[in-house]
Structure 1
Amino acid sequence: MDDADRTDRGGGHRCRIGSFTSGGGRGITTAAVDPATGALTVLTACDTVEDPSYLAVAPDTGVLYAVSETEQGAVCAFRPTAGGLAALGPAVPVGGSGPTHLSVAAGRLLTANYTSGSVSRLPLGADGRPGGPASVLVHEGSGPDADRQERPHAHQVLPDPTGRWVLSVDLGSDSVRVCAPDPATGGLRVHSETPLRAGTGPRHLAFHPDGTVVYVLHELEPQLTVCRWEAAAGRLEPVGEVPVAPEGAPGAARAYPSAVVASPDGRFLWAAVRGADILVTFSLAEGAEQPRPGAAVDCGGSWPRDLVADPSGRRLYAANERSGDVTWFEVDPLTGVPRRAGSVAVPAATCVVFG
């Protein structure tokens, strides 16, 4: 892909921001990223996809993928151009409803379908275009929260750093499934399932950069579960829990954690917490398995649905859904604590990706 498709005319990089069109969002927003300050400048918006709440960029081709978080769940693919985004064909059904997350693994596109409690795997063409039909793995199980855990609710699906395994986080069944590609069906098969504490509602996970530790963030309780990851065996082993919302944090009783991010250098961990509307910094100075919660700062808006680090790890970006903005922060290199540096209006913002 031409570098001009990934940068603006001033030499800065670009990012893409997903949003809920049903909540007043403009679909997928393209913004220029100032390389010196990290500031965002909105360039264009593409509203051809309904509710593109989560985005992913293929690292090898630069193709942008978006879920359509609707009852008839679908995915769309775009090739970035100097003028915005060019669709690579029509939307492709995922065979599940309410997809909330997607990722690229081993030449396939994966989606976590929240409403139907399933994970889908779609083939990708040479140009990055997704095809069908999707192979669907349906989760089983439930949890004690009758309102939120009456059935499985897959919320995230992510390959491990080796690319051999796929981890699926299920809020409804309080578990993480380790899956492997099934050569017979082209889909996924469950290799193992790791139960987590009942009623906590695991939502998202992040790998430590060394690939041996996984941090699972829970939505229904403000907790972080630390797990050992054994890639050779495909085994995830919980080793401890850490509270996410510090005592005395504003709105801690209404805390709904949403996203967890590890710094590229492995020194820090950050979590976004909705309701409390804070970003919490964890130090990993005592080891990857021993995150220590530190300062909590305001997220710069309301309801931070997503939190990401830029490729350098020097800045964080929070997609604040209810206040309709993306706020960026400078990370203190000694403490890891983020400091608000600016924001840009993006109605119903849900996700930020770079590339």
Structure 2
Amino acid sequence: MKSAIKKGGLIFMGLLLTIIIIGQFTMKDDDTASVDVVSETVLVPGGHSVGVRMDVKGVLIVGLEEIETADGKKVNPGIQAGLQIGDMILEIDGTKVYKAEEVQALVNKIQGDVKLKVKRKSQKLDINLTPVVSKDDNLYKLGVWVKDKTAGIGTLTYYNPVNQSFGALGHPIVDPETGSILSVDKGQLLQAQVQSIQEGTAGTPGEIRGVFYEADSPLGGLEKNSSYGVFGNAYHPIENPLYTKPLVVGRQDQIEKGKAYILTTLDDNKLERFEIEIEKINHQSEPADKGMVIKVTDKRLLEKSGGIVQGMSGSPIIQNNRIIGAVTHVFVNNPQKGYGIFIEWMLRASDS
């Protein structure tokens, strides 16, 4: 799925949709140990539409721009110093920064050369930079566009009643410009209300449009954004009206081709169960996101949405009364089909 970015904001076009107006955004264990842990786990299945609000750890560079100085020259201090899109600014002259406005305030307080501590992928770098004064507003600038927050709508995958943890989305929240996974500083999982559904067609993914309000009682706190979903701890128990008791987790070797179900929320914020077919199982010895190819066969879901749409990521997959995975991606040219991740990889990411 393609992504787009706007100044001061983020639009993430995976199956997590960024809020614009009303919303829409290893450890390697041996196989035996993994099976033992998973086989003993029971989870409350999700399917609830949820809002994800996250403060990014540090300040992410999402763009680089030229600054016109008072003498008419156009320069980009960031590029000259070696900054790159996707770099995370952690400190300026030894002072930690967490918000975009803190960067501008510190740079204009120093009014001279600055030393940045930057995180680039897994490396931490020290970069010296000389800001310039902008002709437009007479402020010292680095020549970078930065952001510190993101928000969107997705679907809850599970709630673990034993340790009050939860998992959602089945894929990471990434910066659309760089593709880098955003690090969580703090964030919350919120209740969301579905407002409308745009039907998906070949070449044009549909989407769930919804809204969440900061004043609403949050479901839990976010602690981790990983390749296999977002994770955290719930503030109170989460229930599923379709399943009064938790379901046992299904291992890869227990999954079969054929009929299964997904749980998701569409009309009137009603959590529903829809029939799908598992067409292919990609058995994996290490975590990966595309473990299953699924096809929507339920006529009700096809009539409502055309199949899998953006905002359904994280919808749990149920087979033989076991929770076996979650929806992660839609086939752009065939919205009836998509990929699913094995639930064991989400649980491993949460535990690690």
Normalising by structure 1, we get a TM-score of: 0.24
Could you say which structure has the larger radius of gyration? 2
Higher helix share: 2
Question: Which has the larger share of strand?
Answer: 1
* TM-score relative to the length of structure 2: 0.25
Choose between structure 1 and 2 for higher RCO, CA contacts under 8 A separated by at least 6 residues. 2
